[in-house]
Amino acid sequence: MPATPLHTLRLALAGLAISFVTPSVLAQSLSVEEAQVRAVPPVSTTSAAFMVLHNGGEADLAVVDARSPAARVAELHNHVDVDGVMQMRRVDGIGVPAGGTTELAPGGLHLMLIDLVAPLQEGEEVEITLVLDNDEVLTLSAPVRRIEVMGSGMSGGMSGHGGHQAH
């Protein structure tokens, strides 16, 4: 039975839909758990995302870029000790060893969301796209949550991130 124009159109649209979904499915060796974005006061222009990255593959991977429609800029960061003072620094990549795990957490590696396009509401979902060094792309959704930082007495604030400027 020959394909009708409507059937052909449906197949083309299905193929197009799969092509849009495929990039987030391609990063099969990297999985993400416990993704969350820090709730911040409505006047804050920055936030941070935290997550646990698992590399189930046989080759080392690195997250080399990130983006989110929630912010005009997304950067990979780490906290480092400089002469006894913790400072935040932009990093070129966040490695995830083969068969291993890397945690993005307060006070360590994290994803900065800079120049938020709108205030983040606790409970809403934020889309985040991670780009790997092998050109694979993984898109995920992370809930906005209050995050307690042990020993700081702060919740939802951006301790160490105040006045942050894009690099």
Low-confidence winner among 15-19, 55-59, 99-103, 123-127 (lowest mean pLDDT): 15-19
Q: Taking a C-beta distance cutoff of 8 angstroms, is the pair 116, 70 a contact? A: yes
Any residues with CB less than 8 A from the CB of 39 and at least 6 apart, and which?
A: 47, 120, 122, 144, 145, 146, 147, 156
Identify which has the larger pLDDT, 12 or 27. Answer: 27
Joined together, the tokens standing for residue 82 give 């400089």
Identify which has the larger pLDDT, 155 or 38. Answer: 38
- Tell me the mean pLDDT in the region 92-106: 96
For residue 105, the model assigns a pLDDT of 95
For the chain, the domains span 28-155
Joined together, the tokens standing for residue 155 give 């919740």
Return the CATH number of 28-155, one of 2.102.10.10, 2.60.40.1840, 2.60.40.1890, 1.10.1370.40: 2.60.40.1890
Low-confidence winner among 36-45, 95-104, 146-155 (lowest mean pLDDT): 146-155
Report whether pLDDT(155) > 50. Answer: no
Task: Give the Cα separation of 108 and 110 in Å (integer).
Answer: 6
Q: Provide the percentage of residues in the chain whose pLDDT is more than 90.
A: 64
What is the phi/psi pair of residue 69, to 5°?
A: -65, -10
Report whether pLDDT(131) > 50. Answer: yes
For residue 2, the model assigns a pLDDT of 56
